[in-house]
Structure 1
Amino acid sequence: MENNQYDPITMLNQMVSEPYYLFHFLAFFSYIPVRCSASQIISPHFSSHLLHREIQAALAFSVLTVVKMVKVEAWEAFIADTLFFAKIFLVGIALVMDYHLALWYTLVFLVIYILTQQPAYQGLGTSNQLTPLQLEALLTEGNTSRFWLVEFRALSSSTCVHTSRFFPELSITYSNKNLSFGIVDLGLFPNAAEKYGISLGSNEKLPTYILFENAVEVTRFPEVDLASNPPITKKLLCRHFELDRCLIDYINAK
C-alpha cells in the first residue's frame, strides 16, 4: 500500500483530481492557445523577441526547479514552490506580450488562491488521527506507550501542508511499543490549542510537535521561549526529539 502512494501515475491522478492543481494546470496550459493566436497578429520582430524571453524564462524556471528539488525535503513544499515560480514567470511573459493579459493571469491566480487550497499529504503512516479527548485518554492510561510524539497542526497553515508528509514518514521508521505517534487537527479542535499552550494566531508556531512521557511534556518544537526557530525538516525533528536514540534504546531493551 505504501508503495502505491509514491507511484508516479497514482500521484499524477491524485493531483489532477484536486481542484488546486487542476486549476493551476489549466491556467498554465492556456498560454499555449493564447501564444498560438498571438503569433498570427504580432510582427515577426516582436515574435522573435518574445521567443527569446520565453527561452530565458524556461531556463531560469528549470534552474530554480532543480535547486528546489535538491534542497526541499517534502514533495508538497516542492510543488508549492514550483507553482509559485511558474506563476511569476507566466505573468512576466504575459506582461511582455500585453499588460492586459498579465492582469488577466494575475486575476485568475488570485481567484484560484481564494477558492482552492493545496491539499495536505493524506497518508498517516503508523500515526493516529486523534481528538483531544482521545489524546488525553491515551496519555493518562497506563497501558499505552511510554512516549507519545504528537503533531498539532491546522491545514489552513501553508507550513502545515508543506510539512504534512514528515510526520507519517517518521512514524513508519520510529514507531514501536514505547513510542507512538498522534496527530491533532487544531482546525477541527481549536480549544485544544490553549490547553497545550499553542498560539493559533502565529503561523510560525504551526505545526507544533510535543513529546510526552507518561502524560508529562518532555520537550516541544518550535520552542515557546525562542523568538525564531529553524525551518522544519525530518532531520531536525529526529535530532530534536532524539528519535534515533529512542529506537536504539527500544531495540537494546528487547
Structure 2
Amino acid sequence: MEGKTKHSLTFSWLNALTTEPFYLLHFLLFFSYLAFRQSASPSLSPDFSSRLLRREVQAVLAFFVFVAVKLVRDETWEAFTDNILLFAKVLLVGLASLLDYHVAFCYLAGFLGHSHHLTPLQLESVLAEANTSRFWLVTFSCPWSSRCRHASQSFADLSTIYSNQSLSFGVVDLGLFPTAADIFSIPLGVGTGQLPTYILFDNAVEIARFPDLENEYRFFSPVITKRQLCKHFDLDRRLVEYASSK
C-alpha cells in the first residue's frame, strides 16, 4: 500500500508538471537558475566557484532529504507538491543570493506574487475603470484566521502564474475593512466556513465565488488548495485564451 501511494504521488506530480501551467512554469523558473549559473561562471574566481558548488551540492542533498521525509508521511499529492515547491523556492533564493542579490530579489518578488492590496473604495474603483483588467479575482481574508494565513501563499502563487492584462488579483483585508464583508455578503462568523472568500469579477459583475454562500462546511472546513481554485475559476482555460488572443 505504501509503495502504491508513493507511485501515485510521483505519477500525479509528473502529470501536473506536463499539463498544468502553474507547475510547468515553476519548473522552468527553477531551470532558469542553471542558465544564470552558466552565464556567470566565467566571471567567478576558482575559490568562489568551489564554495558555490559545495553550497549547491548541500542544497540538492537537503532537497532530496526533504522530499524523502514528505513521501514517508504519505501526504496528498497537493500538499506534497506545495511543500517541496516552497522548500525549493527557499533554496533557490538562497543560492541566487550568493551569485547576485539582484537576481535573488527578482526571484523573491516573483514568488511573493502579483496581487494588489486594496481598500473597498479602491476595489470599487478598479472594477469600474474601463482601462483595468476585465477579470479580477479577489480574496477577502482576515489576519486572525489561521485558514486565511495558510491559504495566502497559494493565492500569491496563483497570482504569479496567472496574472496578465486580462486577469488581475486583489486582496482585501476584512480585519482592516470589515464593512467590505457587508458590501460583498461575506459572513465573518468563525463557524461559517466563509473565510477566506474568493470572488471573480467580470467587468465589475460577480460571476463566481468560492466557497459558495450555501457552504456545507461550517466548523470544519477542508484546506483550500491551488488545484481547487484553478478548477473553480477556470484559471488554466483563461490563461490559454489570453495567450491565444495575442
Q: Considering the TM-score relative to the shorter chain, is it more than 0.5? A: yes
Task: For structure 2, list consecutive stretches of 5 or more residues without a partner in the other structure.
Answer: 1-25, 30-68, 87-110
Q: How far apart are the structure 1 equivalents of 2:162 and 2:71?
A: 33
Amino acid at match of 1:207: P
Shift of 1:230: 5.0
Map 1:231-246 onto structure 2 (within 5 A): 231-246=223-238
Alignment partner of 1:249 out of 227, 237, 241 = 241
Of 194, 198, 212, the residue aligned with 1:209 is 198
Measure how far apart 1:226 and its partner are: 3.1
Aligned-pair CA distance for 1:222: 0.3
Do residues 66 (structure 1) and 73 (structure 2) align? Answer: yes
Q: Distance in 1 between matches of 2:71 and 2:245?
A: 47
SS at the partner of 1:163?
Answer: helix
**CA 1:249–1:71: 2 relative to 1, 3 Å:** closer
> Which residue number corresponds to residue 135 of structure 2?
147
Cα–Cα, structure 1 residues 70 and 219, in superposed 2: closer, same or farther, change >3 Å? closer
* Alignment partners' CA distance in 2, 1:240 and 1:253: 22
1:221-253: CA deviation from partner (whole Å, max 9, x where unpaired): 001123237531100100000000100110111
AA partner of residue 180 (structure 2): A
In structure 2, relative to structure 1, the CA distance for the partners of 1:63 and 1:153 (3 Å cut) is closer
Residue number in structure 2 paired with 1:220: 209
Do 1:147 and 1:211's aligned partners in 2 also have CA atoms closer than 8 Å?
Answer: yes
**Which deviates further from its counterpart, 193-202 or 211-220?**
193-202
Q: CA deviation at 1:67?
A: 3.3
Q: How far apart are the structure 1 equivalents of 2:233 and 2:197?
A: 13
**CA drift at 1:155:** 1.4
Q: Partners in 2 of 1:218 and 1:238 — Cα distance? A: 15
Match for 1:67: what amino acid? D
Q: Tell me the equivalent position of 1:161.
A: 149
Give aligned pairs, total. 154
Summarize the Cα distance change of 1:70–1:136 in structure 2 as closer, same or farther, 3 Å threshold: same
Give secondary structure in 1 for the equivalent of 2:227: helix
Change in 2 beyond 3 A, CA 1:67/1:136: same
TM-score of the two chains, using structure 2 as the length reference: 0.55
Computing the radius of gyration over CA atoms, which structure comes out larger, 1 or 2?
Answer: 1
Query: Superposed, which structure 2 residues align to 1:42-53 within 5 Å?
Result: none
Deviations 1:163-217 (A, max 9, x none): 1100110011111100000001111111100100101113511110000000000
Structure 2: distance between partners of 1:251 and 1:171: 16
- Paired with 2:200 and 2:245, the residues of 1 have a C-alpha distance of 20
Mark the runs of 5 or more structure 1 residues left unpaired by the alignment: 4-61, 79-122
C-alpha separation between the residues in 1 aligned to 2:70 and 2:128?
51
TM-score between the two structures when normalised by the length of structure 1? 0.54
